[in-house]
């Protein structure tokens, strides 16, 4: 185990924990609205924390050489995730909530990253978790995230879409038909001249 990499990984882990706690529980949440399926945030936070902890433990228990290319890909994914999430949260402004919550006077936002995908925050969370797991080359935890966290996130996405359809009706259905949920292939093509 490389001592320098281990120290860098520990510093990154502390930063990772700080960012996740800040974004989930302490981001400004202005406005009122009804929270739906509150259990999804709790379940996602629990599984996310478990997968992140598993990756941390895996790094120290499983003795493997660190592939710096994999670590670099993980770091790029993680940085991309933080930037994307901040852009998406700032674009939502007062309508941001870590919960499934339609706020009073809620407007459908289709600017910024929402031109490219309907759920850039969910995409950023996937990038963040997978990136953080790849940095220490925690491959077992990577598979664990794919089979536990991401499917639960898709369930939450489904519930959120139902609420958005109920609130915005045809306007949201049109948005669904023209903008992909997570994979920005069509969205990126739309941005080309």
Determine the pLDDT at residue 97: 86
Tokens found for residue 113? 């990253």
- Domains annotated for the chain, with CATH where assigned, are 3-191 (1.20.120.1630)
Query: Which distant-in-sequence residues (6+ apart) come within 8 Å of 174 by Cβ?
Result: none
- How many angstroms separate the Cα of 173 from the Cα of each of 34, 88, 96, 147? 21, 20, 21, 29
Q: Is the pLDDT of residue 28 over 60?
A: no
Neighbours of 20 (CB within 10 A): 18
77: exposed, middle or buried (Cβ count in 10 Å: 0-12, 13-18, 19+):
buried
Residue 18: pLDDT band by 50, 70, 90 thresholds? confident
pLDDT value at position 186? 61
pLDDT exceeds cutoff 90 at 110: yes
The Cα 191–Cα 145 span in angstroms is 31
- Whether the pLDDT of residue 19 is over 60: the answer is yes
Burial state string for 126-145 with b = 16 or more CB within 10 A and e = fewer than 16: bbbbbbbbbbbbbbebbebb
Over residues 67-78, the pLDDT tens digits come to: 999 999 999 999
- At 153-175, the pLDDT tens digits run 999 999 999 999 999 999 999 99
Spatial separation of the C-alpha atoms in residues 93 and 79, rounded to whole Å: 21
pLDDT per residue as tens digits for the range 117-148? 999 999 999 999 999 999 999 999 999 999 99
* 6 or 147, greater pLDDT: 147
Mean local confidence (pLDDT), 3-11: 82
In this prediction the pTM is: 0.86
Mean pLDDT (whole number) for 19-35 = 69
């Amino acid at each position: 185990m490389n001592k320098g990499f281990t120290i860098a990984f520990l510093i990154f882990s502390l930063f990772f924990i700080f960012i996740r706690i800040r974004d989930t529980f302490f981001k400004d949440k202005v406005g009122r609205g009804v929270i739906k399926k509150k259990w999804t945030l709790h379940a996602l936070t629990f599984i996310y924390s478990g997968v992140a902890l598993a990756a941390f433990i895996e790094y120290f228990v499983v003795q493997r050489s660190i592939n710096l290319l994999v670590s670099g890909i993980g770091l790029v994914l993680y940085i991309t995730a933080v930037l994307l999430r901040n852009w998406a949260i700032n674009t939502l402004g007062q309508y941001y909530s870590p919960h499934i919550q339609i706020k009073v006077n809620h407007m459908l936002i289709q600017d910024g990253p929402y031109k490219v995908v309907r759920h850039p925050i969910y995409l950023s969370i996937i990038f963040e978790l997978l990136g953080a797991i790849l940095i220490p080359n925690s491959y077992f935890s990577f598979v664990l995230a794919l089979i536990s966290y991401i499917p639960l996130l898709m369930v939450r996405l489904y519930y959120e879409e139902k609420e958005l359809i109920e609130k915005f009706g045809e306007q949201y259905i049109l948005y669904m038909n023209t903008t992909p949920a997570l994979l920005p292939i069509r969205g990126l093509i739309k941005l080309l001249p």
